[in-house]
Every structure is written in C-alpha cells, then in structure tokens.
A and B are shown apart, each in its own frame.
Chain A
Amino acid sequence: MTVLESSTLRLDASWVDYLLVGIYFLFVLGIGLMARRSVSSSLDFFLSGRSLPAWVTGLAFISANLGAVEIMGMSANGAALGMPTFHYYWIGAIPAMLFLAVVMMPFYYGSKVRSVPEFMHRRFGPAAHLVNAISFAVAQVLIAGVNLYLLATIVNSLLGWPIWVSTVIAAVIVLCYITLGGLSAAIYNEVLQFFVIVAALAPLTVIALDKVGGWSGLKAKMAHAGTSGQLSSWPGNSLTQYSSDVWSAVGIVLGLGFVLSFGYWTTNFVEVQRAMASKDMNSARRAPVIGSFPKMFIPFIIILPGMIAAVIVPELAKYKANGGKGGGITYNDSILLLMRDLLPNGLLGVAIAGMLAAFMAGMAANISAFNTVMSYDIWQSYVQKHKPDHFYTSFGRWATLVATIIAIGTSFFAGQYSNMMNYLQTLFGFFNAPLFATFILGMFWKKMSAAAGWTGLVAGTIAAVVMAVLSNDALGGASVGVVNLSGQGAAFVAAGAAFVVDIVVSVLVTAISRPRPESELRGLVYSLTPREDIRGERVSHWWESPTKLAGVSLLLVIILNAIFH
C-alpha cells in the first residue's frame, strides 16, 4: 500500500492550458454569482427548472452521474480489466435507468416525494428516517473523500506538490466553489460540464486509437501482453474474479445488473431530482430515457482510452504486467497518463478543465447533500427542533466546513485503492443495496410495518459490512480474507447479502409487528395509489412516449451487448 506517496506523474501544462481552465472557471463562477444575486428573471426561469427542454433534463440527468469518479474509475477499470467494464453501462446502468423511467418515476412524480429520507419518513416514520438520514450522511462524506482524492491527484500531477498538500488545496478550491455559489446553478454547470468532458475525451480517444493502430492494433497489442481474454465482455471473470464462468455471469447480472444498479439509479435522488424538475409527468419519465442514449455510448470515450493506455503507456503496461505493483503509479492514473502522452498543449487544457470541473462539482454536490440532510433531516428533526431559520442556515455553513475536513480524512482511506471502482462498489453495497430492498418492499407491500423499515435497513447494512470485512480486499486494509473473494466480485456478493438480509429481516419483523393504517399510505404504496395520480399525459408522436422510447433504448443496448460480447 504505497499510494500515499505522491505519484511520479507530471502533466506539462503551459500558459495556454491554464488560460483554458481559467476561462471555464470564469463561466462557472460568473453564472454562480448571478444565480445567487438573482439578477435576471430568465435565470430564475432556468433554475426553477420546470419547462426546461427535455434534452437539457436528459443531459443533466446523466451529467450528475458523469463525474470524476466515473471518468477516473471507469478508465482505471478499463485499464485493469478490459472489456468487462462495459457491463457497468450496458448491464449496470441502462436497464436500471429504463426501469426508473417506466416503473418508478410515475410514482415519484405523482407522490411528489423530493428525497429518499422524505419517503422513508412518510412511509415508515421517524426511526427509519433517522437511520436512513445518518447512513446517507456517512455515505456522502465517504464519496466526497473519493472525489477529493481524485481531485488532489490532478492538482498533484499539475503542480507536483505532495499529495497531502494537494488534498488540502483541493479542499480549499471546493469550499470556494460552494461559497461563491457554483452550486446554486448546478443544472447549468452539469450540462456545460458534459460538453467540455466530451470535447476532451473524444479527441483523446481518436488520437489514442490512431496511435495504437486502430481496433486491430489494440487486439494485437493486448494479445502480445497476454491479456487478450480481456477483449470479450462475457463472462467477465476479470471483473468478478470468480473462477467459474457461470457464477461470474450470474454475479454480473444479479449483483451488478440488479441489486447494485437498480439500487443506485432508483434511489439516487441527486439524479432523480434532475428528472423531477420537468414540467409534466411525461417529460419527467422521458429524462432518464433520453439520458440513456448518450449514456450507452460514453464507455467508448472512457473505457476504451483506459484499455489503450494499458498497452501504449510504458509505465502502465509494466505496472499491469507486474500484477498492479510498483512504478509510483496506479490504475487510477490511466487517463491522466494518456493525456500526458498524447494531448498537445491546448487540448490538454480543455481536458484539465473538464476533469477539474467534474471533480469539483461532484464533491460539492456530496458536501451540499450532506449539509442538507445534517441540518434539516437530523438536527432540525431530532436535536434542536424549534429554532429560527437563520440558526439552521448558519449550522449548515459549519456543517459544510466540518464535512470538508472529514472528507480530507476519508480521502486518505480512499487513496489506498489502486482501482477506485472496487471501493465505490463496496460503498454502494453498504448504502444503496439495503435502501433499494426496503424501498421496493415498502412500495409494493402495504403490510410492511414501520419497525420493519428501520430494522431491515440496519440489518442489510451490517450484512454488507460483515461480508466486505470477511473478503480479501473489498474494504482495503480492514478486510481479513476469511472468504476468498476479491475485487468487484466481493462487492457484488456484499450487495447481494445486504439485499437478501434486508428482505428477510423486514418480512420477519413485519410478521410480529403491526402494519400502519392504510389511510396514511396513499401515494406511498403502489396498490393504495389511485391510477389517475400516476398516469401520464397523452402524446401525439411515438418518440414522445416514454415507454416506446425506452423500448428503442433497450433494443439498442441489446445490439451493443451482442456486438461487443
């Protein structure tokens, strides 16, 4: 575990690159300042969200997810594991996004639930709400740590300062961004960021493909390196690290495709809220479907560069041949190494701007979500109840500062993973998998009791943590290796355990406790919600119908799976 020493990777940025980064920040901070002073009714119009064009909400929907973690994590995964990484998109994202659009969204939009803790409170009462709020706050600080660590890697590769100095500087940058109002224009920044990221990664991919000699060149080089097995996405043993092909495919479909991804996409309200900003039910349902189209092609400009980096960047190729050891770099550096080797000054600046933007926005979103939950869901609801508004506002400012300081700590824990995806999937298993089980059960089973709500969540999370500790490396140095599972396969099993234990405990507890009166559950349980509350508007063209559009998306993703099996 050598990661806390600063990496040897340096980006040769010139003044042109810094100029391009500076221009981006002027845009973002300018919009943020104007949003805070609310100088224009046009801006209010955009920020209040409703009646945004469908393509904007669709892009904002995936952009809220296309952050730092995705760019660095998925390219690291591509470099380490090759094609099976595509499963994170075609198995692990698109089906869940379509499920959200077709099944869950009518329900969310119709019942006007604005956040997960709010649903928990109305469906299960205070105990489940408190458990969920605390678990959510912890998750946000841990994920903020991941973002901060990755942001610090970029600062480190630019300026060459030690990683802990870079981390503190990165934290200060994020605090400035939040204070100067960058977050109040989140929907603007996310859509803008999407275009800058594509403008950076698309040419990187083209240049890299050219350099490696096209698809056939990549195949030849990977065969030469002895990793041609990574050129097919099924059964994906490199991803799960299961020796059996059948179990590997089962693990991918059930662990990643069902529990983790459905849990992530249907309960992640950072994304869901983007869709809920739409003007009517149909637009809200279409947002995830529209987002699914760019989403299915994004892996080509993220995973492919990672795979190419692993054969054409000499240090990385050596690192991979050594089984992931030595050389002062990790898989997380793949995309930065490729940028260093291939992008001329100028394009390099565009790429740095896109990356910095993504990391900053991602961490700022984590911190502000933490802040909201801490101030209102925890402090105002349970600790100091009847204070004036400004008390909670100033409490929120302190919460922001404290969260940033804690994130510096959690970023050092995150730094011990050479492939960030392993850590993230483990975290999602802890927090999203039990939540998804409780959500689905509570939504479709009206008898489920209030006590079952919180006991299920607690038991599910404990099951996932125990599983991760027992595995070889899912929880880094804290894992003891009793169960012989490692990598993302361990995370899939932990998520599966959380899901199953949550359901079993919920059913058992419901059997011995009293269900809530049905009158309180209207709009919260499927069978008790009148159909007219969740029916969409009539449409005049097939492409305006969320269900038909979702069908097209599903067909496309099946074709992609077949081509790149």
Chain B
Amino acid sequence: MTKSLFALILTLGLGSFASACAAQAPAAAPAINDAQIAHIAYTAGVIDVTAAKQALQKSHNKAVRAFAEEMARDHTAVNDQALALVKKLGVTPQDNPTSQSLASNAAAEQKKLAALSGSAYDKAYAANEVAYHKAVNAALQDTLIPSAQNAELKSLLETGLKLFQSHQMHAEHLAQSLK
C-alpha cells in the first residue's frame, strides 16, 4: 500500500480500512500491477457515475444537474475506453482491497447524501465531488500513472487525469457558487 493510496483512502474517509491494512500489510508491500490499476480506475469512475445519478434524481439546481450530467457522461466514456483497452490487451481487471474500500465507502457516502435534500444536498454533493476528485487525481498522479507498466494504459490514465483535473476545477467553482 503506497503513501498516495493511503492518502486517497484517508481523504475519502476510509481511515478504518487504512488502519486495518496497515496492521496487516507486510513490511514490503507488493507493487500494484496493471490489472489492479485498471480495476481501481474503473471503480473510481463507476463511483462518480453512481453519485451523479443520485444527484440527477435529487437535485433541482440547474448548475448541480449540469455538473452531474458532465460527470455521468465523461466517466462513462472513460470507463468504456478502459474496458475496450483491457479487452484489447487481454487483461482481466483484478479486484483488490483499494477497489473494495473505495466502493464500500462510496456506498456509505451515498447513503449520507440520500438523507439530505434541497440546498443542503447540493452543497454536500459539490463538496464531496471536490474532495473525491482531489483524492483520485492525487492517486492518479502520484501512484497509478507512475506504476502503470503498459504504455496504452498509462496514456489513458494521463488523459483521465487531465479530464478529472478539469472536473475538480468545475466542482470547485460549483461548490463556491453554492456558498
């Protein structure tokens, strides 16, 4: 487990999982492989699409809905590309503790957001999107991209990073406008 992935997990509120992993981790953690990287990146995309779908069900704010539509459209497109690439490469994405913790904690976050409504929901969704994109971008930049061995996977992750940095900027503008 690398420092950056820990940062991602902690930022996403996965402290308990991180602690559990730290306790169990061997002295020299094995390097993350391309199949695991693909799984983590794909899972991160699915999480944001799910969050966007919830926003489209709950929010009546025009700017929030436009942002959610952008997230659903872009993350779906990137994940489609990722699926096509792993198929082409003959790689089977490999589930791993990071993907599992991302998914379970995202489900918990979604439950929290489900209990909110109106402007409280809009603000919480926007704030979560800022934090989530910051964490994912840091993980991409510091861990996933440097660790990727396949050039095409690395390139797709780099394109994804540019895209998600743009999402982060948009989320920050959105969060600011909702204050």
**Are A and B bound to each other?**
no
